[in-house]
Amino acid sequence: MKELKIDAEPSYEYTMLSSPKRNLSNLPMNAIVATIFFGCGMILGWVSSGIDQTPVDFTGARAHFRYGLDRSDTLGNNDAMPKLAWLLSFPNSGTSYTGELVRAVTGFNTATNYGESNLLNDGTSELVYTSAFGAAGPFWTDPKINRHKPTNGYILTKTHCGSRCDVCGVDGYVENEHLFLQHCLETSYISKSSTGDLVKSVGTYDKELVARAVHLIRDPFDNIVSRFHLRHNRFTKLNDTESLERYPKTSDGFRAFCNDLSELHAQEEETSKFYHDVIDSIRNVPCHADFFRYIQWHNLAFVTTWDLQIPTLVVHYENFTTNFDETKGMLIEFLGQEAIYEPPTFVAGKTYRDYFSDEEIDGIAQMFEMLAMEKTWHYTRHYFE
Ligand SMILES: *[C@@H]1O[C@H](CO)[C@@H](O)[C@H](O)[C@H]1NC(C)=O
Ligand SMILES: *[C@@H]1O[C@H](CO)[C@@H](O)[C@H](O)[C@H]1NC(C)=O
């Protein structure tokens, strides 16, 4: 079997910044003292209630140490910039169009956690909140295009959160809600060092900046095959001729890619407790691990928005095809903005259900019934009816 080459994907996707919870003893003492004095209630609560009690969110504190102590309100958003509405999406489920639509019809820019691929002419990412407390992100989308910045409503902000590597083993993608939230807040960006060099960094921002969420859901079969196409594009970009030959952008190429991955991780899945209930239904389904991730991803996204207690709009990607005006209307209204301009043409995503046999679709349906939370199942069961 061919060994899959893994290109230099940004490692921030799967490695966490070290958790201050574990490393508190390593932090400079003056930083801790300063934080307590400047009234970071969460740390204070944690310190006074003793070690290892309720989980504490250190996201703000972590960035705080890096960015200094100029906090002047509880949120630290001194920019008079609206708060964020996450665009939560498992990759390749319609993120790009949704962002384009919002920018086009409102005339206002959107934001992204991935500043690294949204650069100004000088090669750096542009922060949304230039003076927000501790915020190392999010960043403006395509900042070279000098769009208006929204002055009210919410700023749609792309994040793919965690649990989404495509070439990785069980241990690489099974995660809990704690890690998932951290990944939702995680950013990558490019800035200039004091010597003028461009430096790539990972960052995070305070969850308090997030006030709403748009949760995108796409037909899992189309979504998973599209993810293969994305991987295929990477092979092309890397001129990985061997992979391009072995995995053409066809149904056969998809299956060859999935088979190699399955073989690579079979042992791990057979013995994993996370697969225990489902392995018999999906063992032979191509790219079943990506369906596992899809289910886990949506479960965790629902848990996250529930835990943050933020209003959440679920959008079915296919409703841009079947129900365009209403879907657009709901989205723009939810963002507290106005649709003023014409929407960009929506080119319906292709459908790839015919890449799978009826039997395979049944196997996946069984995995959904077993692993999807009520809420996830509620919003995905129609893909199996
Ligand atoms: C891609 O790789 C092939 C062989 O590995 C080489 O002949 C070709 O020149 C490369 N193309 C580019 C654009 O680098
Ligand atoms: C998508 O449209 C269908 C009707 O066409 C509707 O029943 C469904 O609720 C819509 N999805 C969402 C998430 O609003």
Write out pLDDT tens, residues 38-55: 333 333 222 222 223 333
**For atom 4 of ligand 1, which residue has the closest CA?**
241
Rounded to whole angstroms, the Cα distance separating 301 from 375 reads: 10
Residue 239 CA, closest ligand 1 atom number: 1
| Interval between CA 240 and ligand 1 midpoint (Å) | 8
pLDDT band at 78 (very low <50, low <70, confident <90, very high): low
Rounded to whole angstroms, the Cα distance separating 277 from 331 reads: 37
**For atom 1 of ligand 1, which residue has the closest CA?**
239
pLDDT (mean) for 369-380? 96
**For atom 11 of ligand 2, which residue has the closest CA?**
316
Nearest-10 crossing angle of helices 251-271, 220-237: 100
Mapped onto helix, strand or coil, the DSSP state of residue 288 is helix
Report the Cα–Cα distance between both ends of the chain, in Å, rounded.
Answer: 37
**For atom 11 of ligand 1, which residue has the closest CA?**
239
DSSP 125: B
Do residues 81 and 152 lie in contact, with contact meaning Cβ atoms separated by under 8 Å?
A: no
Ligand 2 pocket, Cβ-based, cut-off 6 angstroms: 314-316, 319, 322-323
The answer, yes or no, to whether residue 75 has pLDDT greater than 90, is: no
**Residue-level pLDDT at 77:** 56
**Residue-level pLDDT at 55:** 34
Burial annotation 63-101 (CB, 10 A radius, 16+ → b, else e):
bbbebeeebeeebbbeeebbbbbbbbbbebbbbebbbeb
Residue 322 CA, closest ligand 2 atom number: 5
Q: Which ligand is nearest to the CA of 239?
A: 1
**Residue-level pLDDT at 355:** 96
pLDDT band at 167 (very low <50, low <70, confident <90, very high): confident
What residues contact 100, with CB distance under 8 A and at least 6 apart? 344
Would the CB of 309 count as within 6 Å of ligand 1? Answer: no
Token pair recorded at residue 203: 């960052």
Residue 327 CA, closest ligand 2 atom number: 14
pLDDT (mean) for 314-329? 96
Per DSSP (E only), the strands in the chain are 84-88, 111-112, 139-140, 155-159, 186-192, 198-204, 210-217, 312-316
Would the CB of 241 count as within 6 Å of ligand 1? Answer: yes
- Specify the DSSP element, H or E, that contains 258: helix 251-271
pLDDT digits (tens, 9 = 90+) for 82-95: 999 999 999 999 99
